[in-house]
Amino acid sequence: MNEALLKVEMGVPGENTYNGEIRADEFLKELKGKRGIRSFREMGDNDSTVGGALYAIQQTLRDVPFTVKPADESDAAKREAEFVEQVLGDMEHSIDDHISEALSFLQYGFSLFEVVYKRRQGTKTNNPKKHSLYNDNRVGVRKLATRAQWTINQFDVDKQTAELYGIYQSRGFSSNNYIPRSKLIHYRTTTVNNDPSGRSILRNAFVSYKYLSGFQSTEAIAIERELTGMPMARIPADYLAPDATADKKAVLADIQRILRDVKFNSQGCIIIPSDLQIDADGKKTNVPLVDIQLITANGSRNIEIDPVIKRYQHDIARSIMAEFIMLGSQTTGSYALSKSKTDLFLRSLEAYLNTVYDTLNQQLLVPLWKLNGLDFRLMPKIVPGDVAPHDLKELGSFLRNLNGADINLSNQLDIIDNLLTQAELPIIDRDSYVANNGNRQVVQPVEEINNV
């Protein structure tokens, strides 16, 4: 076989590689392109279950601490790790604010930020392109400017490989604003088909949301009708005739407006004429000229909508791994069930957060290293902390089991420090610990051993 042919990529990932449209492979027309962005935005803003779950995700993950891990234990690597910490703390916004905004990729499938760089030339200059807390003349980051999903018109992608070259962004009434890939940080939930628009975590909840919205509206109308009744009016037939005079048509329009707007509230009222209808002989009858009543339904079926609404709310919460927010809405349940649901949610959050930091390491640090001409062997990594809190009761039980197996960890200072950190307690003073434990052999940390 021809070796040159083996090196050629012949297939394409999906339809989106040809036109760069947002979710071009989507088969629901409501979720294609900008219509999909509007639909997911509506879900987040209007539905209490979706909004509550997204808020829980955002507030939980923005509070997770992070560390910058050096490439190795050398002084040079530690200095570069300190440089990254400086960059993240020297922006016009906090890294927590950026994480909070970046998490919108869960709702829309993707999120985009433009990296705005600056030359670090100290605090004496008022030029925002150079103003910095540091004065080493290195290239730093001024801000990670968000580019809202509903302003993105199209992705500029390679038609063969779907590699992202840039984006076309709407900029008011002007033409598209093009931002190249080298200036972007691009978060997405999934890389299936290499689709740059990803896949919203709300995708599986969309159908349930549409039915839920309809039933909630029906429930509100039914309650109002049950309290106020259905307005009904009786008027002479000639007012309804096609050849009715203009005055009669005007009266009919006024009555229709009254029936439409009638409400059983403190300002609700109806005024009708007291005149009686005239019969064929010109005599008054006992039938009023206009009669308005509130009628009630005669049906005997009593359909409970609330269980249906709760079922769809559970479906929405379940589809985004947040069913724990529905706990307490039913009489059944157990602590073990709630814990398993909560743990599953927290584990999914860890995956989301790892996606964010993996993207930062690749799309923020690598370009920053290139711009500064730094040694990639010394490039550190930004590592997030734990999302799920550690159960100290279970951890204590595990340590007791180790002690029962005659495994003593009291001389393992690194392990002791880690345990104290999990309990949010200060780590031990090593000199005092060694002095108070006499001649007991203490295992030193690896970095201290290397420095001896």
Segment 319-334, tens digit of pLDDT: 887 777 776 555 555 5
pLDDT digits (tens, 9 = 90+) for 121-160: 999 888 888 999 999 999 999 999 999 999 999 999 887 7
Segment 191-217, tens digit of pLDDT = 877 888 989 999 999 999 998 888 888
Percent above pLDDT 90 for the chain: 34
Q: pLDDT-derived band of residue 87, with 50, 70 and 90 as boundaries?
A: very high
What pLDDT is recorded for position 449?
39
| Whole-number pLDDT of residue 206 | 92
Mean pLDDT in residue range 208-231: 78
**CA 327/CA 325 separation, integer angstroms:** 6
What is residue 1's predicted lDDT score, i.e. its pLDDT? 59
pLDDT score at 84: 96
pLDDT number for residue 452: 38
* Predicted model pTM: 0.74
HEC assignment per residue over the chain? CCHHHHCCCCCCCCCHHHHCCCCCCCCCHHHCHHHHHHHHHHHHHHCHHHHHHHHHHHHHHCCCCEEEECCCCCHHHHHHHHHHHHHHHCCCCCHHHHHHHHCHHHHHCEEEEEEEEEECCCCCCCCCCCCCCCCCCCEEEEEEEEECHHHEEEEEECCCCCCEEEEEECCCCCCCEEEEHHHEEEEECCCHHHCCCCCCCCHHHHHHHHHHHHHHHHHHHHHHHHHHCEEEEECCHHHCCCCCCHHHHHHHHHHHHHHHHCCCCCCCCCCCCCCEEECCCCCEEEEECCEEEEECCCCCCCCCCHHHHHHHHHHHHHHCCCHHHHCCCCCCCCHHHHHHHHHHHHHHHHHHHHHHHHHHHHHHHHHHHHHHCCCHHHCCEEEECCCCCCCHHHHHHHHHHHHHCCCCCCCEHHHHHHHHHHCCCCCCCHHHHHHHCCCCCCECCHHHHHHC
Q: How confident is the model at residue 451 (pLDDT cuts 50, 70, 90)?
A: very low
What is the average pLDDT value for the chain, to the nearest integer? 82
Per the model's pLDDT, the better-predicted residue between 193 and 357 turns out to be 357
pLDDT at 429 over 90: no
Dump pLDDT digits (tens) for 12-62: 666 656 678 888 778 888 998 899 999 999 999 998 889 988 998 998 898
Which residues have C-beta within 8 Å of that of residue 200, sequence separation ≥ 6? 36, 40, 106, 107, 108, 109, 189
pLDDT at residue 356 in the model: 95
* pLDDT (0 to 100) of residue 336: 59
Q: What is the mean pLDDT of residues 100-121?
A: 94
- For residue 355, what pLDDT band results from cuts at 50, 70 and 90? very high
* Token couple for 314: 């559970």
Question: Which residues touch 203 (CB under 8 Å, ≥6 apart)?
Answer: 31, 109
Note the Cα 433 to chain centre separation in Å. 46
- pLDDT tops 70 at residue 364: yes
